Amino acid sequence: MDAYLKKFLSEEFAIRTSFAGTTQALRELILRSPEFKDARIALASGAIQEVSISRFAGELMKDFRQGERFPHETALTAIAVLLEGYSSPFAEEFLIDLARVRLAEMAGAVRMARECLKHVKDNAPDVKVVRFPTVSLQAGTFSFKGEAAWIVVLERPTSTHPEEGAIWIQGERYATA
Amino acid sequence: MFEELHLIGDTTQSIVLQTRKGRDVRNAIAPEPGGKQVAIYGLIRAQFGALWKQRKPACGGYNCFGHLFASRRTAVHDDAEIQKIFEDDGIRKLRPDEWPQVDDLVLYSYLQGRTRKPFHVARITKVESLVIPEQSGGALMKRTPILTVVSKWNDSAGEDEHKWRDIGLWENLDLDLEAEVFTERV
């Protein structure tokens, strides 16, 4: 189990984030917790991989019992907040999938996924990435991992961006369109 | 990831809850806490609640906002719904010349950007006063309220009676937490 994510299961984290009256207040508590700050840095730097998150969430879900309050709701809630700030198809799919669940047993985590999706939408890029080969060049700014970034998607290679269809963020190759 | 859970269907429960002006308030009845939630509540009481007096052990159903605004029947978790209740029910901040009364409420709020957002709410059960001489000789006196409140900490914790400033749990969180008295009294 990933060491950073495992901290979301600790008593210290649960104590720090337990008493909040609203979903929005809980999100603030999570964002301010040292466990979350460490995990966010680890995710941004690649120390936490998507596969680790998927595996961790899968382990948590093994303890789900219908009719009983989910024991790892705090940890699952924290993962939702962690993925809110991580722009990837996996993160989006995870949040959308969790937000669609309609179970009282883990309603807090579901509410948080919905809240996180609102924030994702609010911070959505103001340019749409039109994929190769529809356009020759689309450029603009958007939010990447919580920070403003610029993006370029190429149809034809150039001397500075030689790979067709690549997406470049802040001058670094991020993915292929 | 959660495909199997979709197959279970919908186990959520809510009630019809409206503001005084008839606007619907989204709510969710929380299931009873499991062993883990009860244990965490116990740890928090042991760590921060030396002076708290328990009114009710850990239970589900409602949270602090459901305690105050839905008579303990359900939980209200969303900022927008709480704002709706304050607006429609005429709940206002106490004026500086007003004295708190039993059954007024203490709203704890945190700062997000430039806006204060609701964090927790508690019901006042006792009002005492502390008199402080403002001038040497005691000619002028300043009266400061000392409030006792009941808190339902979240939708799985219990209810505790405590002094309104006895919230050590939230210290050092960098939330800029503020406690203010509100009332529905005209």
For chain B, give the percent of residues with pLDDT over 70.
Answer: 97
**Cβ–Cβ gap B10/A102 under 8 Å:** yes
Considering only the beta carbons, identify the residue of B29, B60, B63 that sits closest to A21. B63
Query: B107: nearest CA in chain A?
Result: A21
Strands A147-154 and B159-163: unpaired
Q: What letter does residue B77 receive in the DSSP assignment? A: -
pLDDT tens figures, B69-94: 999 999 999 999 999 999 999 999 99
Nearest by Cα to A30 from A20, A44, A45, A42: A20
Q: How far from B73 is each of B50, B88, B101, B125, B154, CA to CA, in Å?
A: 28, 20, 24, 20, 14
Which residues contact residue B97 at a Cβ distance below 8 angstroms, ignoring those fewer than 6 apart? none
A96: left (phi over 0), alpha (psi -120 to 50) or beta: alpha
Q: Does B69 touch chain A (CB under 8 A)?
A: no
State the pLDDT at residue A167: 56
Q: Give the model's confidence band at A128: pLDDT under 50 very low, under 70 low, under 90 confident, else very high.
A: very low
Considering only the beta carbons, identify the residue of A11, A20, A107 that sits closest to B119. A20
Nearest by Cα to B173 from A103, A36, A93, A128: A36
Q: Is the pLDDT of residue A139 over 90?
A: no
Count of CA atoms in the C-beta half-sphere (13 A) of A24: 19
CA distance A27 to chain B (A): 11
pLDDT tens figures, B92-104: 999 999 999 999 9
DSSP per residue over A11-30, as a string? HHHHHHHH--SSHHHHHHHH
Residues of B in contact with A19 (CB under 8 A): 44, 120, 153-154, 157, 169-170
Q: Does B113 touch chain A (CB under 8 A)?
A: no
**Cβ–Cβ gap B154/A18 under 8 Å:** yes
Q: Give the model's confidence band at A137: pLDDT under 50 very low, under 70 low, under 90 confident, else very high.
A: very low
CA distance B108 to B121: 6
Q: Give the model's confidence band at B7: pLDDT under 50 very low, under 70 low, under 90 confident, else very high.
A: very high
Between positions 21 and 60 of A, the ones with CB within 8 A of B are: 21-25, 28-29, 32, 54, 57-58
Q: Give the model's confidence band at A127: pLDDT under 50 very low, under 70 low, under 90 confident, else very high.
A: very low
Q: Which helix (H) or strand (E) holds B43?
A: helix B35-48
State the pLDDT at residue B8: 94
Considering only the beta carbons, identify the residue of A19, A71, A103 that sits closest to B11. A103
Mean pLDDT score of chain A: 79
Sequence letter at residue A52: S
Q: What angle do CA A71, A27, B35 make, to 5 degrees?
A: 15
pLDDT tens figures, B156-177: 999 999 999 999 888 877 889 9
Enumerate the H helices of A63-176 as residue ranges: 73-84, 89-99, 107-122
**Torsion sign over Cα B91, B93, B97, B98:** positive
